[in-house]
Amino acid sequence: MLTLQGKIDLKVKEITVFADILPGAVIINDIRSGVAIWMNKKGLKELGITLDDVVNMDAAEYHSKYFNEEDAKDYVPKILELVKQNNDEESVTFFQQVRINNNEKCNNYSSLSYV
């Protein structure tokens, strides 16, 4: 039987097979630590970083550098409620303000999260 980490690793591997052909950024976060553990090429290009940069960045730095913290107060509780429900048939959609390519100004993105 797989451990929780084993299940996570398997899901990440399954997603990485097709994520680069999707038209948007795909970011896999470990909600336990708040860090991004994987991002597709589109997302990396938009942020102007490498996958090594992402996985070696702590949660506080990642969120403050790329996301509007005031805006996050609206959608983070929705994501946490989704995690609490632990239902893989549910998702939450929201608009998110993201700083790309080291720009101070945020761009709005439609986002989707699921467990």
- State the chain's mean pLDDT as an integer: 93
Q: Are residues 6 and 44 in the same domain?
A: yes
pLDDT at 94: 95
What percent of the chain clears pLDDT 90, i.e. is strictly above it?
83
Confidence of residue 115 (pLDDT cuts 50, 70, 90): confident
The average pLDDT across 38-54 equals: 95
What interhelical angle do 59-66 and 69-85 show, nearest 10? Answer: 130
Tally of domains within the chain: 2
Give the start-end residues of each E strand in 45-90.
none
Q: Are residues 88 and 106 in the same domain?
A: yes
Provide the residue range defining the domain that includes 23: 1-66
Q: Are residues 97 and 49 in the same domain?
A: no
Q: Are residues 42 and 54 in the same domain?
A: yes
Q: Are residues 18 and 44 in the same domain?
A: yes
pLDDT at 41: 97
Q: Are residues 85 and 62 in the same domain?
A: no
Which tens digit of pLDDT belongs to each residue from 6-36? Answer: 999 999 999 999 999 999 999 999 988 889 9
Q: Are residues 18 and 45 in the same domain?
A: yes
What values do phi and psi take at 104, rounded to 5? -70, -30
Q: Are residues 81 and 103 in the same domain?
A: yes
Which tens digit of pLDDT belongs to each residue from 58-111? Answer: 999 999 999 999 999 999 999 999 999 989 899 999 999 999 988 889 999 999
Contacts of 44 by beta carbon, 8 Å cutoff, 6+ apart: 50, 51, 54
Asked if residue 3 has pLDDT above 90, the reply is: yes
Residue 61 to residue 65: CA distance in whole angstroms: 6
- Pair of tokens at residue 105: 């100004």
Domain boundary among 28, 51, 66: 66
* Residue appearing with tokens 């938009």: 46
Q: Are residues 34 and 20 in the same domain?
A: yes
DSSP 8-state code for residue 100: -
What does pTM read for this prediction? Answer: 0.88
Terminal Cα-to-Cα distance of the chain (whole angstroms):
20
Element (H, E) at 40: none
Q: Are residues 45 and 5 in the same domain?
A: yes
